[in-house]
Structure 1
Amino acid sequence: MRFFKLFLLFLPSFAWAQSNLESKVKKVNIYPQGAQVFREVVTDLKKGDNPFVLPGISNEISIESIQINLSDNDLNISDLSFQTSFLRNPEIQKRNTAIKTEINTIIEEKSQLKIDLTVLEREEKLLLSNQKVGGTYSGMKPEDLKNTVDFFKSRMQEILEKKNQISQKLETFDDRIRDLNKELNKLMIEQSNRLSEILFTIYSENDLEDKKIEISYFTPNAGWSPTYDIKANDFNLPIQLLYKAEVYQYTGENWNDVNLTFNNLMPNAKANLPEIKPWVWGIPNDYSKPNDELNYSTSNRQISGFVVEESSNEPIRGVSIILKETTLGTTTDENGYYSITIPPDRQNLNNFISYSFVGFTPLTLNAKEIPTTIKLNEDTNALEEVVVMGYAKMHKKSMPTSNIKRDRSSALSVRQELKKLIIEEEAPTSLQFTLANKTTLESSGKTRSIDLKELQIPAYFEHVAVPKIEQSVFVNASITDWESLNLMPGKASIYSEGTFLGVIDLELPTSDTLNISLGKDPGVFVSRKLLKSSAKNKILGNDIEESFQFEILVRNTKSTAIDLKVIDQFPLSRNKEVEVFDKEAKGATINDTSGTVNWKTTVPPNTNKTFNLGYHVKYPKDGYITE
């Protein structure tokens, strides 16, 4: 396996005199895709220029988004830049160098042993080619012949013993190289945590102590989406709605004990106002463009399996497994097992996963084609290069302005909050929820569910049946004044009487009533059957007249009455040759434009209710109608 060397790029001389600042992530604003990270440092300032370097920054950030906020207007910032480096640990580098030195020493000793082994093999071959005592040795005296045989036996025994000793030493050296490679691989995994640094200079008119500095930046490798748990235990009681956030991040740095805020703003969405352009008839007038909205699942896609050695089928511990183009990675355990998560925002991409271990040939596979068992081939002849720490190219940027936010003034006056773990705020173009307590979010790419608030909401429950499409009865909950709930479109899990019924897409309407389907009610049955259908030719002309009669039966087996809505339809005529007449739907509301038929009634407990639908259709012989 080979490692690429990183060559040191020399920085301007002032960079070497910069002071390192220790910072901590204090808060994070997380968006549907991406997050704004806020770090805080406290330092002293001397009069004049104060050059600083802020290490330990995730490499996965948007350079243009870096902001430095100061509480003192008399301070000025200049020379703001960003550079990529590697986490430098002197102890790791020291051990890394020692391992390389020992490997080189072993290689030199192996080379000498191989030379000695070659000489012995050639001497052995020479002895074997002269082992026959006939011919040349036919005139030898018996004592001379005995001496020759004894010499041959003694020398051959010495050669074989030395060959065996050399082979054992070579095997021992190979085992030692394997052990060193395993240790080197572990060190390389620790070294591979790529981090970055922000460099800047603060000019101060005076000496100042304990000045607080806030540094913020945007990272694309994070996101959240709203989800809900909706519970309806009794149709005479309000529903319970648990508002949750499905959140993930794989920025390369853990967010430990931070203030976390969820915001529905799309930071990278196009902000340009659409513009109407002149349209000449006959020329395409297409304004359609690719949808900028997010389209990903909040579920995790786990890839797991085992990594073994090709020759022995033995598990390999400590294999480095990396999701390419990200900082996400893991290692195998003592059984060779691993598990890695594909983040939600990458599940629709063509992902590749690399498997590497010092002393073995690396392997990269498409995430869609990964077998359960990965086999790596040993490559003991490949020496690993020690990584040289260095700096990447610096990037300069200008200082952007910060956002201004205001508190939300409206309140949920008609509803009861069972649990509220957030502070709700409204910005000019967004809505945000800040967790009341600090939280920790690891850089794993795994989706984590966080409760935001739980509400008890009055709702009107109605049973709805559309028997023409499906002969089941659904329960619908209608919520008025839903805008004050600060809901967003998302997935909702439905529960009734403690039983999980399924998942629906919670879509927000343009009206003031939000309808939520709570799934099927097994205690109410519905059927629709054709009672009569007849067709006859008119005596004069080429028309056919056909009549239909349907019966819809609803049976309420529950111990309580239900409010019921039954939906059906009449066919519509789109031309004058087709006529629909004698429409019958007693007690129903008919929409002549859409043809929909709605019955609304109350069905007492353990009672049947019947609805009748009938109509006539006249149409040309060469045309037809289907039900």
Structure 2
Amino acid sequence: MNRLPLLLFVFLSTLAQGQSADELRVQATLRQATVFLNRAQLAAQATATIDAGTTRLIIDNAPAQTDPQSIQVSGKGDAVIQGVQFRTNFLDKAPRPASLQRLDDSLRTTREAYESLLVQKDVLEQERNLILANKEVAGKDQGATVKAVAEMAAFYRERLTRIGQDLLALNRRITEQKKRVDRLDAQVKEQDAKRERPVGEIEVTLTARNRTAVSLNLSYIVNSAGWSPVYDVRVRDTKSPASLAMKAQVFQNTGFDWQNVKLTLSTANPALPGSQPTLNTDYVSFYDPKVEAKYDQEAPEAVPMLRRSARAKLASQEGDPNAEEVIPNPMAANLTNTATFTQAVDQPTNVSFDIAIPYTILTNGRPQLVDVQTAELPASYRYEITPKLDPDAFLTAQITGWDKLNLLNGTARIYFEGTFVGESRVSLAEAKDTLSLSLGRDKRIIAKREQIEDVNSRQTFGGNQRDAHAYRITLRNTRQEPVNLTVYDQIPVSTDERIVVQLTDGSGAQRNPETGKLTWRLALKPGESQALTFRYEVKFPKGKVITQ
């Protein structure tokens, strides 16, 4: 192996190390986190000065959830990387994260305030006891005048009343402060208990001819991290475009805070296999209990062979001296502006978002919102109503141009006219060129659906019976502007050729023969009312009973 101060990439190795190697412990500084949907790839940097000979450099602040097979190490310096190993340290605690230190500081301040209140309470109680003791002494003074006794009684009454009121208020403050102390103490204990978990260590074996400084770049994948998209959709009014803000709920529970790191969000899922599955031959035969029993007896014999195959494959990968050098993809360009200018990198198999500003993600498992991108999208608006099921109209936005934003399925918080109106769902499987989102109810569109009793009847013609039904839908627009309104209703659909359903009057409705759905599209002026009437008949054999 040549000694070259080059950038070397080394995968996890199981090379035997010399017993005389010196051990040097350092901590790596986390620089970048690429967060996938269910895990993350971390990039860290460590520097050290090593002596001549062989040195085992221990990076002792790696998460225990590190995937050993994902570790990559590159280096700069006049040294050679001989091997990389990952191990778990069950003895040492993880470093105390800054978030836990802040909690501990808050607990100490809160506990000091609680103890100060206890001191104030003790002083007041001592004062009350002193006054009561002095009262007993003064009461034995036979020479006291009536005026002196009255003044003394007034003093006792006023002061004891004041002390009692102060103690009452103080006890309330003590109770509330004790609750704060208990909550913070429980939080600190919960966070501190996580430090009891084992930590990971990455051991890099280096050789150098002379004392030299080295710089190592590490990359590895960890579990207990991920992100999911959420959206804010804001509509000022029905004449304005829709504003869509994509945010990411980023979480991590690796045991180490990610302090001020460059963040990249990726839609890739490393847990899924990257190769297309292969179809195996699907055989069909007759069932034979003897053959089945034979397989049951021989199945355990196949297990050792499978295990040996797996070990042989692993040994081949690790020991192949002709294995190709693996070089990771170049990092994306640094961004210096706000998240409005987040760069979306469209790759052949996934999309990644380079977040413009550094973020700190605490190791508490709680989602933290990260701004990803915002956009103004063309939108048309219409009201939809189904009076048979709900008397309220719902405003929906038909948004176009969304397919250029690399969106994912997720929850959307809807704001209309400056007010939060509820949550909807961005479902890309249902969307085509237009993304439909509900903007909530509008009670200023009034609807009433009623059955027309004098039309409903049952008549018999020969061997058939005929049921007639009629409904009236009354609609009124009480808004100050015109609205486009889509009205839905339905008539039954026959599942038997002997039952015939006929729409006799639809008031211009469009009918879907497969579902029986009726659709009207109306334009209502401010204050305008309109009535829709539809009638249908159901014909079926006499003597039969139909269900609907």
User: Could you list the runs of 5+ residues in structure 2 that have no partner in the other structure?
Assistant: 1-15, 95-188, 288-313
- Residue 81 of structure 1 is matched in structure 2 by 86
Query: Residue 266 of structure 1: which of 253, 266, 269 is its match?
Result: 269
* C-alpha deviation, 1:192, in angstroms: 3.2
Secondary structure of the residue that 2:467 maps to in structure 1? Answer: strand
Query: Residue 239 of structure 1: which of 223, 242, 262 is its match?
Result: 242
Distance 1:418 1:586 in 2: 55
Give the conservation status (yes or no) of the 8 Å contact 1:60–1:252: no
- Residue 612 of structure 1 is matched in structure 2 by 533
Distance 1:490 1:222 in 2: 18
Give the counterpart letter for 2:46 in structure 1: V
Give the conservation status (yes or no) of the 8 Å contact 1:86–1:196: no
Q: 1:282 to 1:589 in 2, by over 3 A?
A: farther
Give the conservation status (yes or no) of the 8 Å contact 1:30–1:263: yes
Greater shift, 66-75 or 480-489, is seen at: 66-75
TM-score (norm 2): 0.65
Give the counterpart letter for 1:255 in structure 2: W
Secondary structure of the residue that 1:86 maps to in structure 2? Answer: coil
- Residue 385 of structure 2 is matched in structure 1 by 465
Does residue 227 (structure 1) correspond to residue 148 (structure 2)? The answer is no
Q: 1:12 to 1:523 in 2, by over 3 A?
A: same
Distance 1:525 1:268 in 2: 51
Spell out the pairing of 1:114-513 with structure 2 (5 A cutoff): 192=196, 194-202=198-206, 211-271=214-274, 273-274=276-277, 278=282, 398=318, 401=326, 404=329, 420=340, 422-508=342-428, 509-513=430-434
* C-alpha deviation, 1:484, in angstroms: 0.3
- Residue 523 of structure 2 is matched in structure 1 by 602
Give the counterpart letter for 1:42 in structure 2: T
Query: Residue 22 of structure 1: which of 17, 22, 27 is its match?
Result: 27
Greater shift, 51-60 or 528-537, is seen at: 528-537
* C-alpha deviation, 1:208, in angstroms: 9.5
Give the conservation status (yes or no) of the 8 Å contact 2:470–2:536: yes
Give the counterpart letter for 2:376 in structure 1: Q
Greater shift, 596-605 or 248-257, is seen at: 596-605
Q: 1:63 to 1:574 in 2, by over 3 A?
A: same
* C-alpha deviation, 1:85, in angstroms: 4.4
Q: 1:550 to 1:62 in 2, by over 3 A?
A: same
Give the counterpart letter for 2:221 in structure 1: F
Distance 2:392 2:486 in 1: 12
- Residue 523 of structure 1 is matched in structure 2 by 444
Q: 1:281 to 1:520 in 2, by over 3 A?
A: farther
Give the conservation status (yes or no) of the 8 Å contact 1:226–1:490: yes
Give the conservation status (yes or no) of the 8 Å contact 1:34–1:219: yes
Distance 1:572 1:44 in 2: 82
Give the counterpart letter for 2:245 in structure 1: L
Q: 1:217 to 1:436 in 2, by over 3 A?
A: same
* C-alpha deviation, 1:260, in angstroms: 1.2
Secondary structure of the residue that 2:526 maps to in structure 1? Answer: coil
* C-alpha deviation, 1:227, in angstroms: 0.6
Cα deviations by residue, 1:218-267 (Å, 9 ceiling, x for unpaired): 22111211111111121001122221111211110111110111112121
Q: 1:455 to 1:468 in 2, by over 3 A?
A: same
- RMSD over aligned Cα atoms: 3.6
Give the conservation status (yes or no) of the 8 Å contact 2:24–2:57: yes
Distance 2:78 2:465 in 1: 88
* C-alpha deviation, 1:402, in angstroms: 5.5
Distance 2:387 2:260 in 1: 54
Give the counterpart letter for 2:365 in structure 1: G
Q: 1:576 to 1:193 in 2, by over 3 A?
A: closer
Give the conservation status (yes or no) of the 8 Å contact 2:38–2:226: yes
Give the conservation status (yes or no) of the 8 Å contact 1:230–1:240: yes
Give the conservation status (yes or no) of the 8 Å contact 1:405–1:426: no
The total of aligned residue pairs comes to 399
Distance 1:427 1:212 in 2: 30
Higher helix share: 2
User: Could you list the runs of 5+ residues in structure 1 that have no partner in the other structure?
Assistant: 1-10, 90-184, 284-394, 409-416
Give the counterpart letter for 2:470 in structure 1: Q
- Residue 491 of structure 2 is matched in structure 1 by 570
Give the counterpart letter for 2:270 in structure 1: P
Higher strand share: 1
Does residue 623 (structure 1) correspond to residue 545 (structure 2)? The answer is yes
Greater shift, 588-597 or 237-246, is seen at: 588-597
Distance 2:358 2:264 in 1: 10
Distance 2:39 2:435 in 1: 30
Distance 2:278 2:85 in 1: 37
Cα deviations by residue, 1:320-365 (Å, 9 ceiling, x for unpaired): xxxxxxxxxxxxxxxxxxxxxxxxxxxxxxxxxxxxxxxxxxxxxx
Give the conservation status (yes or no) of the 8 Å contact 1:535–1:544: no
Cα deviations by residue, 1:483-502 (Å, 9 ceiling, x for unpaired): 10221111111111222111
Give the counterpart letter for 1:485 in structure 2: L
Give the counterpart letter for 1:597 in structure 2: L
